[in-house]
């Protein structure tokens, strides 16, 4: 019944089924899970006379008339007048002239209007209200009035009342067939409403409390399914047969490292070494703020794998970063007799062919590259370790592709995008997580200034001063998302601008359209201090490491997101000198101002991530990583933390109790997971 096409529900039919499909509703079950976006308490309406300025209310009134006026600046204002027994109120729209006609046609009809009350000496007004006509309903209980009423996300071709009717019908027909997939022991432990009751209450709540309980039950289910899939996956990884790699890595590292490890690095390397020693493949995420020294952890893992006779692959999101890793790792590992190769898209066909041959024949121990590593004809002789740097830049599929080039290789992913714990649980619940929560000694927090565009000259005068002291600087051109070519042009333009402004400064240019050889050349010159000021596109954002650079100037900084700004700033403050980040921006939106404000207030990546989440909402945070996993429709990962943690705890417990969900009380759950999330759980052995 639940999986039947929606058109068999009373009141739907062929045509409306098409309309519903635009909302992602295809089956009867989809309809039940089409949740209201809010609820309106229409059990009692406030009288117009009793409304208070600033409050959000729904009022019930009769349409009297509608008028429009045009201001001197050409703004069209439509005002509709409605009344109830106590008084009149105005509903106002701007630049929607057609509203006049619509409301004239509604004269004498009842409507419900919802919005924020503006009360002044001219009367009571609601600007841009949400509203709907209270259509007369035949039959029994009203779905529109005298109750807490659901307000649904809609699309053209269906009204609130029609949606309410369809969903109400669906509930009547389907409730007896709804089975609860949450195992009884969990329902009891967490005092969850039965599913059928929760579904009824979420649509047509009988009280605010029962709505809250229903929501909790359904939020729990969303988190629980997600956490269960992640927990099953994690268990699966852990059961896979891997290899046991053991080597005294600290002893050998000490021989080549120019510094001593921080305690945090030591701890994380121990965790990695421990994972690799176990007979199952490692699946670990290393989180650490920019500059915390994640690369060394990668080096340690590589040393272990190579010394045990395996090849390693390290994938980075940009060519510049791959090249830098190649240089840094070569400096450290070459003296130990380890052979490294680079494989990036910009190499000539011939160069690539040669490198691929070395990889296939096992003539190279470590391959460092970009997406180019994923190409089909890249074959390893015996790949034992896969490392993915700046992993948020890659999708799950890409991680899987690289992994499949070996036989259950150890997997290490690294990210500098620190995410709050709850989000980490939601997104990376199938990985073990290590955190480098300490910066190398002697680092000073970067001082950040926000400078309006009118003071741009001041910013570059400051840059010149720093360069005179022997330091180096970056200038990042405005972000242009349309095309790589336009982005490169913006960088060129900035470079020639600055050449005029700072004639005594040696300027270099770096952008994505340059050949890899050219890029390498520029980066080398910058590292060798033959360039004072490196003008770049935002590609510089990830991973570049030149400790003598102490100033980062970001043009039109308001165009960047917080995470990106934080990454860019992370390019400086890597040495012992005081570093600076100058954000040049004259932002228009409040949101952009807020971002810049946050940047000047803190250097703490975790705080920035939290702010970012609060400003942007969780949606964008997921990116491709979330692909194929259950949606969170009701759940809010910021506010429902407690429910998330309960769900995670229960999911882990369930997997321990019944690793393949084969107990009778878990069969339904296994079946449901298969049906709903087939793609995401392809390789899971359950049910």
Residue 535 found at the interface with ligand ADP (CB under 6 A): no
Closest to ligand ADP by CB, 34 or 294: 294
Q: Which does 547 bind (CB under 5 to 8 A by kind): Mg ion, ligand ADP, none?
A: ligand ADP
Q: In whole angstroms, how close is the CB of 191 to ligand ADP at the nearest point? A: 44
Q: Which does 259 bind (CB under 5 to 8 A by kind): ligand ADP, Mg ion, none?
A: ligand ADP
DSSP states of 64-126: EEEEEEE-TT--EEEEEEEE-SS-EEEEEEES-THHHHHHHHTTT-EEEEEEEEEEETTEEEE
B/e letters for 49-86, b = 16+ CB within 10 Å, e = fewer, are eebeeeeebbbbbbbeebebeeeeeeebbbbbbbebee
**What ranges in 125-190 are assigned the alpha helix state H?**
160-174, 184-189
Residue 61 found at the interface with Mg ion (CB under 5 A): no
Closest to Mg ion by CB, 193 or 299: 299
| Residues in Cβ contact with 411 at an 8 Å cutoff, skipping those fewer than 6 apart | 281, 282, 283, 284, 385, 386, 387, 388, 399, 403
The stretch near Mg ion (CB under 5 A) out of 226-234, 271-279, 286-294, 567-575 is 286-294
Q: Which of 18, 98, 259, 334 binds ligand ADP (CB under 6 A)?
A: 259
Residue 268 found at the interface with ligand ADP (CB under 6 A): no
Helix, strand, coil tally for the chain in percent (to 5) = 45, 20, 35
User: Is the Cβ–Cβ distance between 269 and 260 less than 8 Å?
Assistant: no
Q: Which does 290 bind (CB under 5 to 8 A by kind): Mg ion, ligand ADP, none?
A: ligand ADP
Q: Which residue is nearest to Mg ion (CB)?
A: 543
Closest to ligand ADP by CB, 67 or 254: 254
| Residues in Cβ contact with 456 at an 8 Å cutoff, skipping those fewer than 6 apart | 584
The stretch near ligand ADP (CB under 6 A) out of 11-19, 51-59, 245-253, 290-298 is 290-298
User: Is the Cβ–Cβ distance between 523 and 324 less than 8 Å?
Assistant: yes
Q: Which does 434 bind (CB under 5 to 8 A by kind): ligand ADP, Mg ion, none?
A: none
Q: Which does 293 bind (CB under 5 to 8 A by kind): Mg ion, ligand ADP, none?
A: ligand ADP
**Beta 123-127 vs 110-120: how paired, if at all?**
antiparallel
Residue 261 found at the interface with ligand ADP (CB under 6 A): yes
What is the phi-psi region of residue 463: left when phi exceeds 0, alpha when psi lies from -120 to 50, beta otherwise?
alpha
How many residues bind ligand ADP (CB under 6 A)? The answer is 18
The stretch near ligand ADP (CB under 6 A) out of 185-193, 196-204, 260-268, 491-499 is 260-268
| Residues in Cβ contact with 494 at an 8 Å cutoff, skipping those fewer than 6 apart | 475, 477, 478, 535, 555
Residues 50, 30: Cα–Cα separation, whole Å: 41
The stretch near Mg ion (CB under 5 A) out of 479-487, 509-517, 540-548, 584-592 is 540-548
Between 497 and 536, how does the x/- string for binding to Mg ion read (CB under 5 A)? ----------------------------------------
**Beta 148-151 vs 283-288: how paired, if at all?**
unpaired
Between 394 and 423, how does the x/- string for binding to ligand ADP read (CB under 6 A)? ----------------------x-------
Binding site for ligand ADP (CB under 6 A): 259, 261-262, 265, 288, 290-296, 416, 440, 543, 545, 547, 574
């Amino acid at each position: 019944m639940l999986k039947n096409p929606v058109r068999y529900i009373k009141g739907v039919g062929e045509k409306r089924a098409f309309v519903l499909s635009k909302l992602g509703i295809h089956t009867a079950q989809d309809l039940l899970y089409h949740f209201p976006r809010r609820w309106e308490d229409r059990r009692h309406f406030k009288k117009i006379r009793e409304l208070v300025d600033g409050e959000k209310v729904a009022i019930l009134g009769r349409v009297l008339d509608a008028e429009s006026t045009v201001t001197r600046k050409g703004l069209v204002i439509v005002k509709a007048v409605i009344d109830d027994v106590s008084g009149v109120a105005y509903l106002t729209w701007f630049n929607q002239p057609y509203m006049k006609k619509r409301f004239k046609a509604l004269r004498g009809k009842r409507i419900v209007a919802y919005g924020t009350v503006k009360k002044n000496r001219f009367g009571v007004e609601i600007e841009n209200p949400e509203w709907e006509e209270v259509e007369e309903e035949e039959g029994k209980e009203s779905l529109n009035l005298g109750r807490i009423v659901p307000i649904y996300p809609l699309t053209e071709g269906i009204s609130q009342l029609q949606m309410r009717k369809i969903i109400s019908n669906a509930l009547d027909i389907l409730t007896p067939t709804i089975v609860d997939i949450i195992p009884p022991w969990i329902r009891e432990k967490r005092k969850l409403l039965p599913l059928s009751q929760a579904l009824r209450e979420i649509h047509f709540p009988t009280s605010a409390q029962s709505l809250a309980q229903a929501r909790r039950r359904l939020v729990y289910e969303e988190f629980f399914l997600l956490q269960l899939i992640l927990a099953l996956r994690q268990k699966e990884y852990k059961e896979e047969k891997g290899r046991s790699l053991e080597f005294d890595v600290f002893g050998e590292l000490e021989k080549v490292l120019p510094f001593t490890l921080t305690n945090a690095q030591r701890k994380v390397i121990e965790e990695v070494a421990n994972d690799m020693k176990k007979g199952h493949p490692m699946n670990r995420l290393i989180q650490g703020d920019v500059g915390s020294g994640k690369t060394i952890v990668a080096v340690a893992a590589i040393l272990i794998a190579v010394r045990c006779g395996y090849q390693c692959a390290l994938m980075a999101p940009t060519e510049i970063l791959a090249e830098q890793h190649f240089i840094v790792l070569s400096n450290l590992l070459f003296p130990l007799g380890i052979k490294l190769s680079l494989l990036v898209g910009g190499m000539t066909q011939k160069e690539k062919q040669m490198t691929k041959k070395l990889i296939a024949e096992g003539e190279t121990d470590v391959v460092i590259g970009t997406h180019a590593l994923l190409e089909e004809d890249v074959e390893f002789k015996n790949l034992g370790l896969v490392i993915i740097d700046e992993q948020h830049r890659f999708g799950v599929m890409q991680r899987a592709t690289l992994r499949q080039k070996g036989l259950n290789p150890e997997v290490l992913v690294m990210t500098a995008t620190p995410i709050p714990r709850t989000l980490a649980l939601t997104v990376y619940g199938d990985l073990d997580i290590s955190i480098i929560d300490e910066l190398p000694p002697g680092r000073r927090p970067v001082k950040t200034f926000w400078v309006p565009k009118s003071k741009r000259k001041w910013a570059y005068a400051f840059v010149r001063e720093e360069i005179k002291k022997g330091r180096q600087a970056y200038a990042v051109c405005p972000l242009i998302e349309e095309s790589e070519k336009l982005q490169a042009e913006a960088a060129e333009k900035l470079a020639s601008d600055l050449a005029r402004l700072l004639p005594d400064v040696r300027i270099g240019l770096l952008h994505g359209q340059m050949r890899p050889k050219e890029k390498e050349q520029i980066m080398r010159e910058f590292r060798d201090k033959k360039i004072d000021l490196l003008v770049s596109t935002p590609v510089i954002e990830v991973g570049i490491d030149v400790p003598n650079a102490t100033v980062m100037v970001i043009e039109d900084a308001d165009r960047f997101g917080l995470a990106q700004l934080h990454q860019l700033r992370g390019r400086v403050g890597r040495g012992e000198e005081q570093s600076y980040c100058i954000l040049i921006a004259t932002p228009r939106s409040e949101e952009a101002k807020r971002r810049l404000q946050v940047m000047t207030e803190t250097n703490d990546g975790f705080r920035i991530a939290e702010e970012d989440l609060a400003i942007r909402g969780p949606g964008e945070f997921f990116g491709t990583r979330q692909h194929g996993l259950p949606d969170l429709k009701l759940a809010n990962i910021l506010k429902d933390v407690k429910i998330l943690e309960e769900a995670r705890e229960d999911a882990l417990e369930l997997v321990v109790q019944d690793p393949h969900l084969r107990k009778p009380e878990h069969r339904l759950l296994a079946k449901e997971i298969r049906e709903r999330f087939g793609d995401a759980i392809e390789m899971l052995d359950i049910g």
